[in-house]
Amino acid sequence: MTAKWTDFVAGAVLTAAQLNDVLDNFQDIAIFNETQAAGTNGGSSVAATWTKRTLNTTAVNNLGATLSSSVITLPAGTYTIEASAPYFNVGSGKMRWRNTSDGTTAVVGNSNNFGGTTGTAGLLVGTFTIAASKNFELQYYVQAATATNGLGVAAGGAESEVYGIVKIVRIA
């Protein structure tokens, strides 16, 4: 994607084409997350194996990506990714952005201690390039299996619970 900048002059009438050029700078983004009903915990963690995080909601998708069974399919391009997901009482762990089409890891998140009685979010930030359409999963690895809320503790209230969040931006 090439950035398009337009100098606007006070009092000038803008054309649709000029506005579309400016708006194109903001269209190459997708945000996916796990959304559960209010009061629903994030689920049970699985210990000592790479496991796919649930992603079941598309918040925005201007990339031409698809989401099916927690797998995101992306078209060719260069992307930045930011992902976050909560964990509770699962010991140490981390996340990765896994290219399941090729069996490779595109980005590894920070290592963290999610143990004890305090929940903590895992973070993953990075850049990757794919030459053709590929399938990806947000995966986690933790030391301990924790039933019901190892993948997040419900906050309650009238709003939905949101757990794993993935933001993808195409930069080229």
Top-confidence residue, 69 or 11? 69
Distance CA 68, CA 89 (A): 29
- Cβ atoms of 54 and 43 within 8 Å: the answer is yes
Q: Which CATH architecture fits 29-170?
A: Sandwich (2.60)
Average pLDDT of the segment spanning 117-131:
92
Domain ranges of the chain: 29-170
**Percent of the chain predicted with pLDDT > 70:** 85
pLDDT score of 59 more than 80: yes
Q: What is the pLDDT of residue 119?
A: 76
Give the model's pLDDT for residue 65: 98
pTM above 0.75?
yes
Tell me which residue has tokens 């054309």: 15
| DSSP H helices in the chain | 16-23
pLDDT digits (tens, 9 = 90+) for 86-107: 999 999 999 999 999 999 999 9
Question: How confident is the model at residue 116, as a pLDDT?
Answer: 74
Question: What is the pLDDT, as a whole number, of residue 18?
Answer: 60
State the pLDDT confidence band at 115, using cuts at 50, 70 and 90: confident
User: 37 or 115, which is more confident?
Assistant: 37
Q: Dihedral sign, CA of 82, 110, 137, 40?
A: negative
pLDDT bucket at 1, cuts 50 / 70 / 90: very low
The position carrying tokens 């299996």 is 145
Q: Return the exposure string of 43-66: e unless at least 16 CB atoms fall within 10 Å of the residue's CB, then b.
A: bebbeeeeebbbbebeeeeebebe
Distance (Å, rounded) from C-alpha 42 to C-alpha 23? 36
DSSP-derived secondary structure letter, 20: H
Q: Please give the pLDDT value at position 121.
A: 92
Long-range pairs for 1-6: beta carbons < 8 A, 24 or more residues apart: 1/28, 1/170, 1/171, 1/172
Mean per-residue pLDDT of the chain: 90
With cut-offs at 50, 70 and 90, classify the pLDDT of residue 14. low
